[in-house]
Structure 1
């Protein structure tokens, strides 16, 4: 057990907004490949901004590192408050029930589709950039339940629900955090943790011919960048306090975001881990910048007002469920609309509106049934209600 400081808790609402808007951006990005070609400029130009979906995953991972590190930093002990078993229980309760529910729903959906193919004239035709396919194996299901599918080479194991690729990596990072990263941090410091994380994440890419590249293992390094952001934002170590006060974190966020966008251009042929790491650094700088604004009680700038908008925060409530379910929803909407023989413009507009709307609706309903009952707030309310009855 560890003691925490008596510092008053600070509400960092912008973190929720970042998570919610990142989830919505992923949903929008995954619609883009289905829009078709030869569309008017008023449709094509906005879609140019929808090509950086992996940046949102970088934001998720950095946020995870930041939020898990916050209680460690504020405790000033270098240890997770509470005991290790409680930590793993909390992480499992947070990520696994909705994940398993999404896997089971994909299995049920596959059974329905394959049954229709067998007993009716219906045929499921695979389309390019489908985010869901009913043609997965029993082994794929087992690998998902064991949350080790990202160790399998190739992409076939992901066809069940392609956006799930990052969940296994996140789950495995939860083990690295207390068992590897925190001990290294206590003994050798932040730079050693970050270096070790990128060594772990890039070894499959450079030494194993990139067989895990589809699951982007280098995001392990992005997690430790989030840890570093928490340390810089709240640590009382003199060198980190000086760093927090001396650097222009808002400008750095803009600079690194610009570098990430430029290095992502395909014509440069730069490895994905490089521009996704720049995106991670940009997210970390933005978090530190916004944290300073909150601590110093300054007037929030425009970007922070956007992140703290009630709609963005509301999105964050079910952002995980939205992420888990939007792939099959978008795929089903696309498969249905292509049968209606619409003009390209009408198809693009209808696809976007219907995909986003359906994904939000299904994601929220999924949250109410499969995610909310396992959240800490719900469990506390339920426990309090039972104790008063």
Structure 2
């Protein structure tokens, strides 16, 4: 991967995960209901802008585009290389997801169980959004990545919905690309394609974001095949994407979005296309460097962005329940004061620190998990062809 593009992806990964974290911390600890009707200091408006639903949602859109670029683009390339690719592809995808997902489900179980037992008087775990979410059935459904697709998500970990979508994109997309993989026989290609179509149809419920998300994901995948960007300038491409996100954040919300849901989808596709163009522009640009990407912490922060996305919500909810227990049910939802902002920042820092430690025993072990899975498969289904090169690095939601 070109060095400059790699830097851009690293920055996008951790910034996106941070945006989602701040959205959920803000929702739990900061009440800015009067932000448009009363006068506030400038930092309050900055906080409102960067922690709103629009920013968190656009971060998830960005994750899907990145995932499509890295995973879907790799599958497209390998489907026409003239050698088998599905076995090694699936080893990489399954190990990448499950080395984080399995510990995440157990961590969610522990935190939710302790929180429900210790902070029951906070009422947090009795909120309607969590009603019926603590069953063993949903816990085990999470291992199949069916949360929010076939079953509700387990416990308080709602953000895992996007992980379920991505996992099944990983499965469906190479099956849909099999007709181009001429090294496989006609029957496997036709059968795989039919199964891919059936899989997408089965998971695309009327209330699900799966089908639309697949379109956004595919934007990233097919962008890798573009011979050149529509907008070549890196600075102009970045400025155009930033301007679009600002407009989406300020305009596509509230009553407008409620009355015209299609505007939200149009905004998501627009942002996805502009982000895809930015990736192409950085791929094809001279690789001498780009000042905003020279910060040395981009890579270390990106390295645990997946863990941060996966585990932050049960941590935030546990902290919210603890505050409700010790300070009263209504403290966190009072009109925001300096104490609310301080609590939000403290919880965000705790989530970041926890995610880093969690990643050292999960994400950092992806290579070992991949080798173990490959060795297990070799015992029962020996490989018949040389393995292809490893796919590109994953995104925060991958």
CA RMSD of aligned residues (A): 3.7
Write the mapping of 1:157-306 to structure 2, written as runs, cut at 5 A: 157=153, 159-181=155-177, 183=179, 210-213=206-209, 216-232=210-226, 240=227, 243-244=228-229, 248=233, 251-252=236-237, 254-255=239-240, 258-259=243-244, 261-262=247-248, 264-268=252-256, 269-271=260-262, 272-293=264-285, 296-300=286-290, 305-306=291-292
Q: Does residue 58 of structure 2 align to residue 55 of structure 1?
A: yes
Q: Does residue 322 of structure 2 align to residue 332 of structure 1?
A: no
Task: Give the equivalent residue in structure 2 for 1:42.
Answer: 42
> What secondary structure is seen at the aligned counterpart in 1 of 2:156?
coil
Evaluate the alpha carbon distance shift between residue 212 and residue 29 of structure 1 in structure 2; reply closer, same or farther with a 3 A threshold: same
Evaluate the alpha carbon distance shift between residue 368 and residue 230 of structure 1 in structure 2; reply closer, same or farther with a 3 A threshold: same
CA-CA distance at 1:147 after TM superposition: 1.1
Indicate if the aligned counterparts of 1:106 and 1:161 stay in contact, CA closer than 8 A. Answer: yes
CA-CA distance at 1:103 after TM superposition: 0.8
Q: Which runs of 5+ in 2 are unaligned?
A: 183-195, 376-398
Q: Which runs of 5+ in 1 are unaligned?
A: 1-8, 187-196, 233-239, 384-389
* Bigger shift: residues 84-93 or 127-136: 127-136
Indicate if the aligned counterparts of 1:337 and 1:351 stay in contact, CA closer than 8 A. Answer: no
CA deviations 1:315-353 (Å, max 9, x no partner) are 110111111111011112222334337784233222222
Alpha-carbon distance in 2 for matches of 1:110, 1:184: 46
Evaluate the alpha carbon distance shift between residue 376 and residue 288 of structure 1 in structure 2; reply closer, same or farther with a 3 A threshold: farther
TM-score, length of structure 2 as denominator length: 0.72
Indicate if the aligned counterparts of 1:72 and 1:81 stay in contact, CA closer than 8 A. Answer: no
Q: Does residue 154 of structure 2 align to residue 152 of structure 1?
A: no
CA-CA distance at 1:169 after TM superposition: 0.4
Q: Does residue 52 of structure 2 align to residue 66 of structure 1?
A: no
Indicate if the aligned counterparts of 2:105 and 2:139 stay in contact, CA closer than 8 A. Answer: yes
CA-CA distance at 1:246 after TM superposition: 6.9
Task: Give the equivalent residue in structure 1 for 2:337.
Answer: 345
CA-CA distance at 1:101 after TM superposition: 1.0
Indicate if the aligned counterparts of 1:152 and 1:212 stay in contact, CA closer than 8 A. Answer: no
Higher helix share: 1
CA-CA distance at 1:179 after TM superposition: 0.7
Indicate if the aligned counterparts of 1:133 and 1:161 stay in contact, CA closer than 8 A. Answer: no
CA-CA distance at 1:180 after TM superposition: 0.5
Alpha-carbon distance in 1 for matches of 2:126, 2:345: 20
Q: Does residue 365 of structure 2 align to residue 373 of structure 1?
A: yes
Indicate if the aligned counterparts of 2:223 and 2:276 stay in contact, CA closer than 8 A. Answer: yes
CA deviations 1:122-143 (Å, max 9, x no partner) are 5341279899789511221121
Of 103, 106, 110, which residue of structure 1 is paired with 2:105? Answer: 103
